[in-house]
Amino acid sequence: MSGNLSQLFELAIGIAKLPVASLEFRLDMNPDDVRRMHAHFTKPHPKYKIFQNKSLGAALVDLKRFGNRDDYMGRIKGRNSGEHHARKARSRGYTVTEIDRNDFVDELHEINTSLGTRQGRPMDQAYLEKTTHYPREKNYKYFGVLSPTGKLMAYSNLGLYGNFVAFDRLLGLRNNDGIMHLMVTDIVGQMIESGRYSYLMYDTFFGASPGLQTFKKVLGFEPYRVKYSIQ
């Protein structure tokens, strides 16, 4: 019992130290999808029922902190940094672009099935079944990383929900060229320069593997305690 109380006490102290971010869901972005995502983000946390699902340790980049893309990239420089890996990928000819997923049906399936497990967990069945047609939601942007020969190497679905955007999917073929760093930094840069959003979210730090936590940190994501609203 004392061990559980100690863990709860440490958790409470850690939560109290987190900076607070106010994330607003806005129905005018796409009412049905926004309601669905708001319900998912605010349902009870699977382990700590008194908290909302995505409220503790949310991995956010405060986009308003940066004046432009170069400012952001300058903040994540250093040895083995997000900027270093993104620059390496760009120097090897990789590019980031918005895509129509229906132009890359086979490549998307290849990426989704390229690994049997990710972050220590088996891939969900939804990833293993080949999708032959992808709808386009008006409050989403779809990005891909293309190789110098035009092959899709990685992709992301970015939800636009209100005063914030969030990665819904972020997957790629495994290589050591920095393609995932390139995609994330390019998207962060685009969102900064759009001036329309306050935060970019990449799920949470809690529950993520040490490797994924490090990946988020080198790209400038920090843990926050989030308060959600919908209007």
Domains of the chain: 18-230 (3.40.630.30)
The residue ranking higher by pLDDT, 15 or 175, is 175
pLDDT value of residue 1 = 44
What confidence category does residue 4 fall into, taking pLDDT thresholds of 50, 70 and 90? low
Tokens 């000819």, located at residue: 93
* pLDDT, position 17: 84
The CB-based long-range contact list for 205-211 (8 Å cut-off, 24+ gap) reads 205/57, 205/58, 205/59, 206/56, 206/57, 208/59, 208/119, 209/119, 209/120, 211/119
Q: What is the pTM of this model?
A: 0.90
pLDDT at 221: 97
The average confidence (pLDDT) of the chain is: 91
Residue 126 pLDDT greater than 80, yes or no = no
- pLDDT category, 107, cuts 50, 70, 90? very high
Checking if the pLDDT of 13 tops 60, the result is: yes
pLDDT at position 118 over 70: no
Which of 34, 35, 53, 33 lies closest to 43, judged by CA?
53
pLDDT tier for residue 80 given thresholds of 50, 70 and 90 = confident
Which of these, 136, 148, 85, 142, lies nearest to 108 by C-alpha position? 142
Determine the pLDDT at residue 12: 60
**Sequential DSSP letters for 95-121:** EEEE--GGGGHHHHHHHHTS-SEETTE
- Reading the block at residue 160, the tokens are 């636009």
Task: Kindly tell me if the per-residue pLDDT of 54 is higher than 90.
Answer: yes
177-201: average pLDDT:
98
Distance, CA of 62 to CA of 229 (rounded, Å): 18
Residue 60 · residue 201 · CB < 8 Å: yes
Residue 194 contacts residue 167 (beta carbons within 8 Å)? no
Q: If we measure between CA atoms, which residue out of 6, 7, 37 comes closest to residue 23?
A: 37
Q: Are 200 and 61 in contact (CB under 8 A)?
A: yes
Burial class (CB in 10 A: 0-12, 13-18, 19+), 44: exposed
Stronger pLDDT, 114 or 61, i.e. the higher one: 61
Pick from 27-41, 109-123, 207-221: least confident: 109-123
Flag the least confident range among 10-19, 58-67, 139-148: 10-19
| Start-to-end Cα distance in the chain | 42
% the chain with pLDDT above 70: 91
Whether the per-residue pLDDT at 94 is higher than 50: the answer is yes
